[in-house]
Amino acid sequence: MNYLWAGMIIVGIIFGAFNGKMPEVTNEALDSAKEAVTLCITMMGVMSFWVGMMEIATKAGIIEAASKKMRPLLRFLFPEIPKGHPASEHIAVNFISNVLGLGWAATPAGLRAMEELGKLEEDRRAGRISGPVRKRGIASNEMCTFLVLNISSLQLIPVNVIAYD
């Protein structure tokens, strides 16, 4: 991917040079860099706010209550995850964040969920937990299901888009 982007940039610069448009290429590169910095600063504020809100909701017990309400759905989607496993709570937080359109707040929970699912797989390999055992480097059914659901997440309130406008 890096080579593809680098190639497109080089081709664009060479094309601009041969057509006498180097001042325009330079101006657009600088304007784009300025817009990128502005976007990053704007989104950093939005991300910080919503990640903080999710952390407050977690400490206030709101996430745990929502996770309990989601247990039937999670048991249906992830029948092989043992009851009370930490992965379930992280998956629930990820789903809640995604439904609210808080993709950046969902990312840490999604990463923690995948880590916990990886630990679950290690426990299966060691024989501490029953379930289908896979070789290292092969994703479990739970990991694949979570990934597909996370990628195709439903966003009822696109907070990040609203914040940027």
pLDDT in tens, 93-123: 888 878 777 777 778 888 999 999 999 888 8
pTM here? 0.65
Q: Regarding predicted confidence, which is higher, 161 or 132?
A: 132
Q: In Å, what is the CA distance from 125 to each residue of 60, 74, 120, 134, 151?
A: 36, 23, 9, 7, 27
Q: Where are the domains of the chain?
A: 43-164
pLDDT in tens, 10-27: 998 898 888 888 888 888
For 34, the token pair is 């300025």
On whether the CB atoms of residues 124 and 131 are closer than 8 A, the answer is yes
Length of the chain: 165
